[in-house]
Amino acid sequence: MTYRIGQIVPSSNVTMETEIPAIFRARETVAPERFSFHSSRMRMKQVRPEELAAMDADSGRCAAELSDARVDVLGYACLVAIMSLGRGYHRTSERNLAEVTADNGAPAPVVTSAGALVNALHILGARTITVVCPYLRPLTETVVGYLRDEGVDVADYTALEIPDNLAVAAHDPKKLVPIAAALDHRDADVIVLSACVQLPSLDVIEVVEAELGKPVVSASIATAHQLMRALDLPAVAPGAGTLLAGGYAETPFAEH
């Protein structure tokens, strides 16, 4: 069976449509299901609060367009857009966008990368984490505050301070290895190597896990996990770290 994955993507994002399909293609090597990917874009070039808010206001149109294609599930790519619009906003966004699909006669569950990361951290039993963010420091502090409000303490974090979204995508993932190692992760249960679906990290997730000896996750991996669970499929994929290694394959989908 082939499932249709809808992706609501910032116009300048080029990583969501690379890493999420790569994770699903890895799953196809160990499971029979197949997947196609379909995107709708919201305008955003600079990762700044005013652009993020304007972009999010366009997400309903994207959900309607993707439901026209009768996708089976929708993933909303921009973590910081959701987190910058108020504590707990991922629940509101997921409900609202799911209602758009239902009103269009093609109801489909919705996964936001913000909600997926929160859920992944709880699934992994993370009480304390370290986080790598590409954002400017004020937006990074917003992300840290959002996660703390969701019951996850942040022991240490870094802000790469890259406002241009294409420059975020161009960041060499190998550079994340020493960046993660430099954080104070002594008390961390989990390392979030990329709290952004635009910052590439998939290729080094397991490198950092091996180096630091702790579970490592990214917004993309968390989103893929929740997309699979929303489809009621076991969430597994080789090469994507602890979350998708099989031990959390059957955890419930966190529907709001």
Which positions are catalytic?
78, 196
SS3 state of residue 239: coil
**What are the DSSP E strand ranges found in 51-152?**
73-76, 110-112, 128-133
**Exposure of 178 by Cβ count < 10 A (0-12 exposed, 13-18 middle, 19+ buried)?**
exposed
CA-based max dimension of the chain: 50
Q: Which residue has the tokens 């994770």?
A: 23
Sheet holding 34-42, edge to edge: 34-42, 2-10, 73-76, 110-112
